[in-house]
Amino acid sequence: MNTLTMTLHALPDLEAVGGNVRPGHYMQEHRNFKAEKAKWYYLIREELGPPPMPRFEKAHAEVWLYFKERRNRDQDNCTIALKPFFDALVAWDMIPDDDDKHLTYMIHPLVVPMLAPKMVVVFTEV
């Protein structure tokens, strides 16, 4: 069983793409989403190096998010905000798609000011 651990010193932008964002103009929401996806695309490359990336046909991801404070940090908001991260994984061809057939995940939002901001993701091939 293959595993891969990524430690990224950034967090999803809950203010731009999270669940508590007030609906705005659809074009602004699209720009926010694209910018967030681009951020993760380059952070993944910085962590793992240039292609070829490891590939998982079906994977389970355990995601630990380390925040400084507990403001709007429930699991549902984090799930919405991580969509650009999972889309960046698909863009890097690490997983075929981010649907239930190819990726399952569990998100653990934690308040640990000394470690924040940080995201640790452990992928396990299923």
CATH number of the domain bearing residue 70: 3.30.1330.70
Residue 22 pLDDT more than 70? no
Q: What is the rounded end-to-end Cα distance, in angstroms, of the chain?
A: 7
Q: What domain range is 95 assigned to?
A: 3-48+56-125
Entry pTM? 0.87
Tally of structural domains, the chain: 1
For 85-112, the pLDDT digits (tens) are: 999 999 999 999 999 999 999 999 999 9
Provide, rounded to the nearest whole percent, the portion of the chain with pLDDT above 90: 56
Mean pLDDT of 73-83: 83
